[in-house]
Amino acid sequence: MSTAPTDGKVKFGTLPVFMTTISTILGAILFLRFGYAVGHVGLLGTLGIIVIGHLVTLPTAMAVAEIATNQKVEGGGVYYIISRSFGINIGAAIGITLFLSQAVSVAFYIIACAEAFSPVFDYVNQVYQLGITDKRFVSVPLALFVSLLMLTKGADLGVKALYAVVAILFVSILMFFAGTTEYQSTNTTDFLTKIPDGDSFFYVFAIIFPAFTGMAAGVGLSGDLKDPKKSIPSGTIWATLAGMLIYVAAAFKLNIAASPEDLANDQLIMTQIAYWGPIIPIGLVCATLSSALGSIMIAPRTLQALAGDKVFGNSSFNTWVSKESKKKKEPINGIIITSIIAIVFVAIGNVNFVAEIISMFFMVTYGAICLISFLHHFAADPSYRPTFKSKWPLSLVGALMCFYLMFSMNAPYAVGSLVIMLIIYIIISRSNTDKRGLAKIFQGVIFQLSRSIQIFLQNAETDDTDWRPSIICITKNAFKRTADFDLLRWMSHRYGFGNYIHYIKGYLSRETNMQAEMDLQSLIKVSGGRRSNVYLDTMVSPSYTTAIAQALQLPSISGKEGNMFLFEFSRVTNENTKDIIDNIPLVRAAEFDITILASSEKGFGHKQEIHIWITQSDFENANLMILLGYIMMGHPDWQKAHIEIYAIFPDQDVLEQKEYLKELATEGRMPIRPSNINVISKPDDKSNKDIINMVSKTADLTIIGFRSEAIKQLGDSILQGYDDIGNILFVNAQKEKEIK
């Protein structure tokens, strides 16, 4: 939570939000660059710029209003909204660039203000022949004056000044509309007239767009408002709509009142049109000074909120930036930093260069706000209950338009701004590992997607030829042995899905439920280090059999029904074999394939050799065994492994079976070379176990089939007698799988 203090501050109502926003919207661009736009792209192009610009700003204004009525918007304005929706790390990456754009905006407005002194420069040069043309003689002292004003008087004076500034601003605009020219008396509206070979549409758009960015100016006062939930929506939306109407009217007025050549070449063309010309430079000074004051009020508060969230790695720097003046509770050090940045860019002095930089960072910010609104609608979180509701298509359009326009205006600048934010995000994430990132807002989105996908998969037609494993493993030994978990994560990495359940014997109670929660958190922590894609859970049940019965009936969170069960026992202790034998009929009754992992002290060795053993009784199991071997090799741990198939048949069947297996491997596109298929003639004096023990001593995993009928007759002896080899996976297929 932002720690920006509010005690002792003057609390404002809705009018300062409206005035800060409208004075920023009707600022430098209107007076200095709007005629340039009409001259270069014509009335139709200018109206297109207004419409496209407001396809960004109107959805953003609606989104701001919506979010502001759902949560308490504290100090930091737009940064607060983004960080509390996307998490501190992502919010800070956007917030730092937002602060920079706000600080650069101060320079932009002061540079524009200096342009209002052009008539003064012309007069002085004409009378005194001084030859002074550099506007920085005005802009640099002006930047120092504005900075000193904020350092000594604070936001209270800034808001009071807005009343006079906005009044003069509206008078100047009214006089502009009241004026007439000779050109106007003989001209009618022509939507297409423009200068030949003018600047491109998107270049002009990049220059003009900062005019519309003022809609977020009032949000920056969030920490200084009596009722942000009321003031931010009302002030922002009304100012945005009023600004849009005035810009449309101004475009028509400029089109009929001056030629395209005059509009393109005279940046103070409004002086020639207005009823009283000098009011335009005065209005420009008022508009730009008010915008500069608004930006220099907002930028330090954004920086203070960032420091309050401790996003900067150095705690001393966070404390220093958060410092406030004792009397007026102003972010004094934030103002100093903002002033330094503004003065540097004022010294650069290029309005168009500064305007393009501002456009990029504001586009990202507005895109993020619209995306937040859209994601909240999509997530359908019950806790998201704004009293003012935007429409999700509007928010989506706003987000898409922002990112599209960034690259349309200036692709290198767009890439550069995104790279800068990515670098900031990486740095902040490393120094603030406890801050939440994208997961905060995307949890709800993922929930909705997961729900829809699960229903889709459940309703989709099933096809046995598209089989993939959906495995359940229930174990009492999750904290003793990891072989079954490792096998599950390997088989679930790419092709399948694994559900690993730690079984707790007992009846469900407050105590056992608490134990289950604690064990689950421990499992999640341990599995995180193994980069596992397995879904983890715990289950309290009176017996292992009841736990299996429950798990077999539960729907899989993957959206696919479970189809395979994994048992595990240690060949050192043989402690679980009775439980396995007793519950195989239960698992088969649910029509699950069965796998039994017999783990040894050798483990999985070097993960380079997988031996698959096929016998006369394994026709139903063979394809599943081969598929499981192939699936294992899809994990990076086994990517250097190779499969060896061994088949034991009587002499008369050896050649036939070898050709069959080669054909199976070739047609099934399995990563098995014909040279790795070995058909062994079974001698009369040796059992299958003897042969397997002799051949698979070097195997890292041996896969052997078994029949459920044999388990009934011979019990766990089927699983014993493989003392010379490592880990074994016994496989029993419910029905034969097709390899296609």
Domains of the chain by start residue, with CATH: 14-310+319-439 (1.20.1740.10), 464-732 (3.40.50.12370)
Enter the tokens of residue 566: 């994994």
User: Over 50: is that where the pLDDT of 560 sits?
Assistant: yes
Q: What is the pLDDT of residues 222-247, one digit of tens each?
A: 556 777 777 777 888 888 888 889 99
Q: What pLDDT score was predicted for residue 436?
A: 53
Q: What pLDDT score was predicted for residue 5?
A: 41
Q: What pLDDT score was predicted for residue 40?
A: 94
Centre a 10 Å sphere on the Cβ of residue 382 and count the other Cβ atoms it contains.
7
pTM flag (> 0.75): no
Q: What pLDDT score was predicted for residue 83?
A: 79
Q: What is the pLDDT of residues 503-547, one digit of tens each?
A: 999 999 999 999 999 999 988 887 765 566 788 999 999 999 999
User: Over 50: is that where the pLDDT of 7 sits?
Assistant: no
Q: What is the pLDDT of residues 104-125, one digit of tens each?
A: 888 888 888 887 787 777 777 7
Q: Are strands 593-599 and 728-732 parallel, antiparallel or unpaired?
A: antiparallel
Contacts of 18 (CB under 8 A, 6+ apart): 218, 234, 235, 238, 239
CA 493 to chain centre: 24
Among 50-64, 284-298, 635-649, the least confident range: 284-298
User: Over 90: is that where the pLDDT of 31 sits?
Assistant: no
Q: What is the pLDDT of residues 248-261, one digit of tens each?
A: 999 999 999 999 99
Contacts of 550 (CB under 8 A, 6+ apart): 539, 541
Among 263-267, 454-458, 463-467, 614-618, the least confident range: 463-467
Q: What pLDDT score was predicted for residue 93?
A: 81
User: Over 50: is that where the pLDDT of 4 sits?
Assistant: no
Q: What pLDDT score was predicted for residue 298?
A: 81
Write out the H or E segment, with its range, that includes residue 613.
Answer: strand 609-615
CA dist list (Å): 406 to 184, 400, 411, 521, 526: 36, 10, 7, 43, 43
